[in-house]
Amino acid sequence: MVWQSPIAPGISWYQATLPERPTYPALDGSTTADVAVIGGGFTGLQAACQLAEDGVDVVLIDTARFGDGASGRNGGQLGTGQHWWPEEMETKLGEQRSQAFFRVAEDAKSHLLDFARGHKINIDFKPGQLSVAHKEVWNTAFAAMSTLWLNTITIRTCRL
């Protein structure tokens, strides 16, 4: 039976198609540790794992199952970019800060892939990115940006 999280609005396609996740016993009483990490989403799981690997006595606590919040309901994409187009980032933040945001995002992707490899976690990673305009009002700006990108980088496009 597919797990229905008490904090999720419904069962996602991802939940419905994955095998059962491991379960862990609820905290009964009290416990002690050097560090308590509250929240078992991506950030909490990563923090607790890193602390444990560094030899810190850590306990990870979540009100529901690990990954039940937004971390467990995302689509699993690992894409490049921010909410703004790169040119908008440079205009709003300056070239140096815009490039810093890009580097942070790229470093995070590398860290995730290295973490998965290092822990032998099969994340079924398939490189690539699909960029779409999902609102009619964005079509003109998206077409202009796609043309700019076609002239500067290798990119394949299609119209559905």
Say if residues 36 and 48 touch (Cβ distance below 8 Å). no
- 2, 70: one domain: yes
Mean pLDDT of 2-13: 74
Residues 6+ apart with CB under 8 A from 85: 141, 145
- 19, 56: one domain: yes
- 19, 49: one domain: yes
Residue 157 predicted with pLDDT over 60:
no
Range of the domain at 5: 1-76
Residue with tokens 């894409």, as numbered in its chain: 79
CA 46 – CA 119 distance, rounded (Å): 12
The tens digit of pLDDT for each residue in 80-131 reads 777 787 778 889 999 899 889 888 888 988 999 999 999 999 988 888 777 7
- 14, 48: one domain: yes
Helix then strand then coil, in percent of the chain rounded to 5, is 45, 5, 50
* Proportion of the chain above pLDDT 90, given as a percent: 31
CA 95 – CA 135 distance, rounded (Å): 28
pLDDT at 128: 77
CA 34 – CA 58 distance, rounded (Å): 6
- 139, 124: one domain: no
The tens digit of pLDDT for each residue in 125-134 reads 888 777 778 8
Tally the domains of the chain.
3
pLDDT at 47: 96
pLDDT band at 48 (very low <50, low <70, confident <90, very high): very high
- 66, 97: one domain: no
- 88, 124: one domain: yes
- 109, 158: one domain: no
